[in-house]
Amino acid sequence: MDRVAVVTGGSRGIGRAVALRLAQDGQAVVVAYGHAPAAADSVVTEITDKGGRALAVQADVADESAVAALFDTAERQLGGVDVVVNAAGIMVLAPLAELDLDDLDRVHRTNIRGTFVVGREAARRVRRGGAIINFSTSITRLSLPTYAAYAASKAAVEAISPILAKELRGRDVTVNAVAPGPTATDLFLDGKDDATVERMAKMNPMERLGTPEDIAEVVSSLAGPARWVNGQTIYVNGGAA
C-alpha cells in the first residue's frame, strides 16, 4: 500500500519541491493550494507523467471546513493519509513600529491558525507509522530586522510541534518542524534587491542560498525513514544559525 502525503502550499516554492520529492520517494501526493490552480495542476502533471499518483485540491488552511474536505478527498481518492506537510505560509516584512496590524492578523491567520487547523485534522486522521511536518524558519534564531511578524508566527509553530508530538503518544506518529534559512523561492526573493540577496546568501559558511530541493531532502527523511526524530525543530540553513 502506497503512503499518502498531503502537502499544503504544494503548488509553489518549497512546498512544490516537497511534493515532487515525496512522489519520487513513492508516495501518492495531494497537492493542496490556496490561489494557484494552474501551478498546482502543473505539479500533478509532473508527478503523473513520471508514473506517480497525485491530485490537486484547493483549501484555505485556516478554514476548518475546507481542511476537513481536503482530508476527506485524500481518504476517498487515495485511501488514507500517512504524511502531512504543512508548508503553506505567508510573509509580510516591516519594522515593528510601522507594521500594519491587518497584515499581522493575515500572517497569523495563515501561519498560526493554519498550523492549528491542519494539525488538528492530521492528529485525528494520520495512520500509524505516519508523520506530521510543520514549517518554521531560521529567522527565529537570526532575528533579522523587519521579520518580527513572520518570526513570531513561526515561533508559535515551533511551540506547537513538540506538544502535538507528546499528545500523540502511543500512535506511532512523529511531529517535527523544519526551519529553513534563506532559500531561493519567490516568497523570499520578492522585494529584495541583488545586494540584499547576496548579503543573505553569505550569512552561512556555504555562502549560498538554500534551494527548495535542499529543504525537501530533509522533509523526505522525516516523512519516511527518520522514525526516531520526534518533537524537534530541524534547522536547514547551511550553518547560518
Instruction: Summarize pLDDT for 178-208 with one digit per residue, the tens.
Output: 999 989 888 777 878 889 889 888 989 999 9
What is the pTM (predicted TM-score) of this model?
A: 0.95
pLDDT one-digit tens code per residue, 36-94: 999 999 999 999 999 999 999 999 999 999 999 999 999 999 999 999 999 999 999 99
Distance from C-alpha of 49 to C-alpha of 45, rounded to nearest angstrom: 6
Flag whether 170 is in a domain. Answer: yes
Which DSSP category does 126 fall into?
P
Determine contact, residues 212/14, Cβ cutoff 8 Å.
yes
Flag whether 241 is in a domain. Answer: no
The candidate with the shortest Cα–Cα distance to 113, out of 169, 153, 53, is: 153
Flag whether 10 is in a domain. Answer: yes
pLDDT of residue 192: 83
CATH number at residue 124: 3.40.50.720
150 is catalytic: yes
**Domains contained in the chain, number:** 1
Domain residues for the domain of 38 are: 4-182+217-228
Flag whether 191 is in a domain. Answer: no
Flag whether 17 is in a domain. Answer: yes
Flag whether 111 is in a domain. Answer: yes
Q: Which of 33, 147, 150, 235 is catalytic?
A: 150
